[in-house]
Structure 1
Amino acid sequence: MSSRHDLQTRLEHGIAALGLQLPDGAVERLLDYQALLARWNATYNLTAIRDPAEMVSRHLVDSLAILPFVQGETLADLGTGPGLPGIPLAIAAPQRQVLLVDSNGKKVRFLREAIRSLKLENVRAVQSRVEEVEGQFDCITARAFASLQDMLDWGGHLLTNSGIWLAMKGKHPEEELPGVPAGFEVRAIHTLTVPEVGGERHLVVIGRAGDQAGC
């Protein structure tokens, strides 16, 4: 079993490899989140990843890999599960208001406990289907949540006119691109390199058609 010191070293190496600068105390809060997730996971099966070191790489560092692309003052993380990537992004940028959305009750109970125990004053969690969420957000994130078409059909109403949608994918989603609904356009597809994580990682950046803010 990895010690907290080992996990901190792994996390700090990952953050450095991504070229990120996080606020004071962020590493400690990220590790507190990972510890809470591991504790709850033993009972509630919130994630298939059990090994703490793997959690650091595949959950924390993987989530932080998209931080340079996040913009705006408000963010909604759809199908967040146990808070990925929403909680790591909220810890990394505490000035941004973050809404975590999931339809699974046990996952939302965990999210609310994480928000309370980690004192994440910029984060709210709601148990809801995506299509029933109200409001609009400058940035929307979704990690292995659904096809691009389904994501946008269900949640497209949540994106501000100049906002961006960041869809985290494994392999290049070439076959999904024709399904992007009218009114939206793919701005970019970035290949992500995540330290200690094998396999392909891609980030699809989507905006409203005709609006070029946030490219």
Structure 2
Amino acid sequence: MFGSDEQRIALAEGYVAILATTGIERGLIGPREVPRLWGRHVLGSAVIEELIPEKADVLDVGSGGGLPGIPLAIARPDLLVTLVEPMQRRVDFLREVVDELDLVNVEVLRARAEEVDPQGRADVVVSRAVAPLGRLAGLCLPLARVGGVMMAVKGQSAGEEIERDAREIKRAGGGPASISVCGEGKLAEPVFTVPATVVSIERVR
């Protein structure tokens, strides 16, 4: 995750500060989420990095306020992260964050998932709180290269979604889905909402 690298920790803290101020002012984060920004949102996004290979090309679909893409980019400067977001006000916010934190490994793209060009480029496509798994597979898998992976941050219903949406996942070109729990043992404090449950699906065709 952020490890003991003071620069990365400072960037993560800076991002939390932006979310707690500008993010709330712009309606990207609810005021009640402020006490949980560090644990639930930022750390809960950054822990996914343990599943992502080195120097991967990563797309964050439906990035919103930059989750999970910005924490991933801070935790893993080797990644190239593209934040994909269709709403202009969110795109403006994301670009301001990227500029303010000087995140040289992050790009912001205003587009819906189906508008991303080229399709089939990414090594990893991540998403958090975007859509049910079947619909998400239809949006994300076409963006991944064959052999690439979509990773969806899900909750306790992950297993049920996999079973329910198996046909849609297969139709979208996905192989068998697997569930990983990221961040176990990383933090002792239970107040932090890590570990994170991630559904991974490889694009097989």
TM range, smaller chain: 0.7 to 0.9
Shift of 1:181: 3.0
1:121 aligned partner:
104
2:148 aligned partner:
163
What SS is found at the alignment partner of 1:66? helix
Candidates 137, 150, 161, aligned match of 2:122: 137
Q: Tell me the C-alpha RMSD between the 2 structures.
A: 2.3
Shift of 1:199: 9.6
CA, structure 1 residues 203+129, in 2 after alignment: closer, same or farther (shift >3 Å)? same
Q: Say if 2:190 is the partner of 1:209.
A: no
Q: Distance in 1 between matches of 2:154 and 2:92?
A: 26
Structure 2, unaligned stretches of length 5 or more?
A: none
- One-letter identity of the residue aligned with 1:78: V
Q: Distance in 2 between matches of 1:158 and 1:115?
A: 23
1:54 aligned partner:
36
- One-letter identity of the residue aligned with 1:164: V
Structure 1, unaligned stretches of length 5 or more?
A: 1-14, 211-215
Q: What do residues 126-169 of structure 1 show as CA deviations (whole Å, max 9, x unaligned)?
A: 12111111131111100111112111212322101121111100
2:22 aligned partner:
40
CA, structure 1 residues 175+93, in 2 after alignment: closer, same or farther (shift >3 Å)? same
CA contact (8 A) 1:75 1:96 kept: yes
Q: Percent identity?
A: 30
Deviates more, 1:62-71 or 1:78-87: 62-71
CA contact (8 A) 1:83 1:111 kept: yes
Shift of 1:23: 4.2
Residue correspondences, number: 192
Deviates more, 1:194-203 or 1:127-136: 194-203
Summarize the alignment of residues 1-215 of structure 1 with structure 2, pairs less than 5 Å apart.
Answer: 21=3, 23-50=5-32, 52-71=34-53, 72-135=55-118, 136-177=121-162, 178=166, 179-182=168-171, 183-192=173-182, 193=184, 195-197=190-192, 201-209=196-204
CA, structure 1 residues 160+197, in 2 after alignment: closer, same or farther (shift >3 Å)? same
Shift of 1:82: 0.4
CA contact (8 A) 2:151 2:199 kept: yes
- One-letter identity of the residue aligned with 1:168: V
What SS is found at the alignment partner of 2:36? helix
Shift of 1:66: 1.1
Q: Distance in 2 between matches of 1:188 and 1:83?
A: 25
What SS is found at the alignment partner of 2:202? strand
Q: Distance in 2 between matches of 1:49 and 1:142?
A: 22
- One-letter identity of the residue aligned with 1:174: G
Q: Distance in 1 between matches of 2:135 and 2:16?
A: 30
CA, structure 1 residues 170+150, in 2 after alignment: closer, same or farther (shift >3 Å)? same
1:9 aligned partner:
none
Shift of 1:73: 2.1
TM-score w.r.t. length of structure 2: 0.84
CA, structure 1 residues 200+69, in 2 after alignment: closer, same or farther (shift >3 Å)? closer
